[in-house]
Homo-oligomer: A and B are copies of this chain.
Amino acid sequence: MLIVMRKDATGAQVDGVLEVVSKLGFKGHAMPGAQRVAIGITGNKGPISADHFRYLDGVTDAIPVSKPFKLVSREVKQEDTVIQVGGVTIGGGTFAVMAGPCAVESREQLLEVARAVKEAGASILRGGAYKPRTSPYSFQGLRDKGLEYLAEARAETGLPVVTEVKDVETLPMVAAYADILQIGARNMQNFSLLEAVGQVPKPVLLKRGLSSTVEEWLMAAEYLASGGNYQIILCERGIRTFETVTRNTLDLGILPVLRELTHLPVIVDPSHATGRWAAVTPLARASVAVGADGLMVEVHPDPARALSDGPQSLKPSKFKTLMQGVRSVAGAVGMRLA
């Protein structure tokens, strides 16, 4: 059982609930979260009626849950979360394709790609302006300039924009431009960033960490939700294993498991997962077939000269073929394209 207090609940109200829990013979754990207090109950052998708590002062909800993640769990919410962004639907039977360059490199490059992916049928434009890079000496993105180009591409094509936010400092700037805030794999357990993004009223795309378990990933999503942001899209992008012929190991096997555990939509990034462009299209088709809610794909007009992730980027012509395959498999499994 999880008792969720209102954000403005007072210490006295929390104590009041704890007292009720105690009188019922159970143990209450006040859990001061980033945004609000929740109260977990242990010591009960069978189920407890939520009615004991639901109407107490300061309580907003009482939720019976068996998992460590609560608000994002299927137990707490049966129906799929469906996200609307700039006229595009993500989740609930609609398949959304996000495509664009790994990094925004120039106005021309971005506009060229944006037009191409729009024409091929993508519904959202991706592109990195602030780039977290393994080396301090690597290209770190066009930053603010990159955001401006993204806005221009959106204005021209009508495609909403997803772009990465790498720290709390640049969050306001990124949030001012982006339609969807992307949290990268290396930041999946940057809890301060999760808390800050949890307070922004924009959809979030949360990438799975390089070696995150499903439970840790859902706990990261719980940080966002407990902060008040329920518009979360999970993005599987491959995990780190001993195998090196692909950059990472795409873990499609967890998608049916995620369907059972969470109500959040899940998309797949086959570009980062494999690091090989020739593998991207087959895995895009597999992602539709396994039941994903969408894709994130890297497209570059000239992959050989890309400033980052060239080997895994598709040329626009190859992306067109990808979209044909996706459309065809989507039809076979009863999904409609966004």
Contacts and interface: CB of A to CB of B under 8 A. Distances in A.
A187 B219 CA distance: 16
Given A286-B290, A329-B289, A192 B211 contact: no
B213 A31 contact: no
Contact of A257 (B246, B255, B285): B246
B255 A252 contact: no
A315 B31 CA distance: 27
Interface string A140-170: 1000000000000000000000000011110
What copy number does this chain have within its complex?
4
Interface stretch (A9-17, A45-53, A55-63, A130-138): A130-138
Contacts of A136: 31, 33-34, 191, 195, 219, 222-223, 226-227
Contact of A241 (B32, B166, B242, B252): B242
Interface string A274-310: 1010110011011111110000000000000000000
Contact of A242 (B189, B223, B240, B285): B240
A332 interface: yes
Nearest to A38: B137
Q: Which one of A216, A246, A273, A289 has the highest number of Cβ atoms from chain B below 10 Å of its Cβ?
A: A289
Nearest to A288: B289
Interface in A1-46: 29, 31-34, 38, 40
Given A132-B189, A169-B192, A256-B279, A138 B31 contact: yes
A138 B223 CA distance: 11
A246 to B, nearest CB: 5
B253 A137 contact: no
B244 A244 contact: yes
Contacts of A190: 167, 186-187, 190
Nearest to A131: B191
A243 B251 contact: yes
A134 B216 contact: yes
Contacts of A250: 251-253
Nearest to A291: B282
Nearest to A287: B286
A210 interface: yes
27 contacts: A34-B136, A34-B140, A70-B137, A135-B219, A136-B195, A136-B219, A137-B226, A167-B192, A211-B211, A211-B240, A239-B241, A239-B242, A239-B249, A241-B249, A252-B286, A256-B276, A256-B279, A257-B279, A260-B278, A283-B290, A285-B289, A286-B286, A289-B290, A289-B329, A328-B332, A329-B329, A329-B332
